[in-house]
Amino acid sequence: MSRTRALMTALRARLGAAEPLAPPPPLPRVEAPPARVYTPRREASRFAAEAARHTTALVGIGHVGTRYATDVVLQFQAELAVAHAAVAAELPDDWAEAQGMVPVRSRVADHREFLLRPDLGRRLDDASLARLRQRAPRGADVQIIVADGLSAVACQGAGKALAEALRAACQARGLTVGALVGAKFARVWLEDEIGQELDARVAAILLGERPGLGTGDGLSAYLVYAPRIGKTDGDRNMMSNIHARGTPPAQAAARLAALAQAMIAQGTSGVTLDLAQVDGGAELGVGYRAPQVRQRLVEHGGGGGAGGAGGAGGGGRRR
């Protein structure tokens, strides 16, 4: 009973009014707002539906009214969360040492500064420079650097394996490979200073790439011939999406080794490199590849809640 009602009941008794009061009414029921129910519509275009079978991109996903289906939204949010987590992850300080690499780091002080100051991420700090001069042999054909880049998750996942595979592939082609260098807080251009310092003919940095939807584990590789501070992106060749659902690391290593050899043979890299002369082979895996299936991160019950906006998604996405 409410405070005021109790107060008035007591006052009423004191004033001598004895007739019993009616019992309080039951609690009111709030009428639910009217729900408009839209049924999920599958993608109508057969072209889009067929295209969706060959990509992990968001095509042919159908619609519910004017909006996405619930399971499409949930999947999108989960994939975005994976990307956010990958950007926020930080490479442990002792990671490179534990992997048997020469540990170096850029001039960045902390993770936030790393995200905000790309310029500082492109230069080695003084301690790293000294360590590099002391521990890493000079004059290799290919200098491989494993780095965190924008996804420490990817670096810790497949970074070492890709580096080892690339080293083996280069050696199989008769190229010498320097000691593996592990860089923290590194941007792509850090390979210029490291390669210049170690007098390598080709510098190859393998680093976590800026995460996309659901791919927090993707690696990119950037190769540059005759690395010097001041080289631009026009001087580099790169390969992205090195992960299980993109280019598998083993295949990527074979292609990158062929690229490095072509750079040394032609004496250049970047836009002036003639890719037509890159020595291709069956192991480079440039033929037909089976359609990639989107990885489901969430399952939507589709039981049809009060709003009725749920239900299975459109476009044959759920498999």
Binding region for another protein (CB under 8 A): 1-5, 7-12, 15-17, 19, 21-22, 24-25, 27-28, 30-31, 33
Q: Cα-flanking dihedrals φ and ψ of residue 143, to 5°?
A: -105, 115
- Choice between 11 and 88, CB closer to another protein: 11
Minimum separation from the CB atom of position 21 to another protein (A): 6
CA distance 203 to 201: 7
Strand partners, 219: 208, 242
- Choice between 7 and 57, CB closer to another protein: 7
Count of beta carbons in the 10 Å neighbourhood of residue 12: 13
- Choice between 12 and 138, CB closer to another protein: 12
Minimum separation from the CB atom of position 24 to another protein (A): 6
- Choice between 11 and 130, CB closer to another protein: 11
Tokens of 243: 């992960």
CA distance 144 to 150: 18
- Choice between 35 and 265, CB closer to another protein: 35
Residue 3's contacts (CB-CB under 8 Å, 6 or more residues apart) are none
Own/partner contacts of 92-97, CB < 8 Å, gap of 24 or more, are 93/184, 95/156, 95/182, 95/184, 96/146, 96/181, 96/182, 96/183, 96/184, 97/182
Minimum separation from the CB atom of position 306 to another protein (A): 11
- Choice between 24 and 174, CB closer to another protein: 24
- Choice between 13 and 265, CB closer to another protein: 13
Residue 132's contacts (CB-CB under 8 Å, 6 or more residues apart) are 102, 104, 124, 181, 194, 197, 198
Minimum separation from the CB atom of position 3 to another protein (A): 5
Minimum separation from the CB atom of position 309 to another protein (A): 13
- Choice between 1 and 276, CB closer to another protein: 1
Minimum separation from the CB atom of position 77 to another protein (A): 17
Minimum separation from the CB atom of position 67 to another protein (A): 13
Minimum separation from the CB atom of position 78 to another protein (A): 22
CA distance 220 to 222: 7
Rounded to 10 deg, the angle between the 190-197 and 126-135 helix axes is 40
Rounded to 10 deg, the angle between the 249-266 and 160-172 helix axes is 50
Residue 15's contacts (CB-CB under 8 Å, 6 or more residues apart) are none
Q: Kindly tell me the burial class for residue 295, based on how many C-beta atoms sit within 10 Å of its own C-beta (0-12, 13-18, 19 or more).
A: middle
